Amino acid sequence: MTRKGSNFAGLSVAITTPFKGGEVDYDTLRTQIEFQIASGTVCLVPSGTTGESPTLSHEEHERVISAVVEAAAGRAKVMAGTGSNSTAEALRLTKWAAKEGADAALLVAPYYNKPTQQGFYEHYKAVAEAVDIPICIYNIPGRTGKNIEPETIARLGEISNITMVKEATGSLDQASQILATTNLTLLSGDDSLTLPFMSVGGEGVISVVGNIVPKDMIALVNAFNAGDTAKAQEWHFKLFALCRDMLGIATNPIPVKAALQMLGRDTGDLRLPMTPLDDQGQQKLRATLVAYGLL
């Protein structure tokens, strides 16, 4: 079966938003984009959680989307993070992304206000009907406080331009139910679950670790797609500790920014309430990067 969002299969990278002196560092952002395109990344995902979207002003959020679309220049797809717990704000951001030429929009489930399942449905339906670009539902109850149930996702999948789901519940059962009951393309929201999700019909990942080793994540996806499950497992186990550190040492994107700083690719600056990785976390992360062969 060809699924609705199969043109976004493979590696998408949830890119960080570089900061310098408290401001968005657009020069470093462009460097990161060139690195991803040279690596073969299918899709860039700016202004999501990894991009510290909750601390971007409305103007910065829009400008980051525009800057990534402009820098990518059609060489990679752009799926702009445009979610909000206010439907009106999500509408405004998604319309902006569509106007600026983004290829799709990633909308995190409305957080904190914990809508009913009908509320989730109406929220996504309102946004999808206002734009022509494909919409990816981002379900991450660990951050938002509430799960979008598979039955609700199935209803949303009947809307023509809702084509993808970024599945970050950590549940293989939920992923399986979505794949069994919808024609949506399922993308893993957890790097370490990319291979398990692909084994039941997922088509790729929206990745954090891809900021560091995009070619290795591409190699995992390509090996599985080529039917070489042994090679895909090799990559899975090589990547596993690094993937877990991105989420396990501290809240994303604290570890990935620390790693990029250690690798000389970013200042590592964060915006409050995110704070730098502590000494114990730095030591653990450095040891993982050394073991991986990056340092």
CB atoms within 10 A of CB 230: 7
Are the CB atoms for 8 and 164 separated by under 8 Å? yes
User: Which one is catalytic: 166, 215, 257, 292?
Assistant: 166
State how beta strands 185-188 and 104-108 pair.
unpaired
Cis omega before residue 253 (within 30°)? yes
User: Which one is catalytic: 124, 138, 146, 257?
Assistant: 138
DSSP code per residue over 246-268 = HHHSSSTTHHHHHHHHHTTS---
Number of residues that this document lists for the chain: 295
Catalytic-residue membership of 4? no
Among 216, 218, 220, 194, CA closest to 205: 194
Catalytic-residue membership of 138? yes
Tell the residue number behind the tokens 């976004």, with chain if given.
Answer: 8
- Annotated catalytic residues are 138, 166
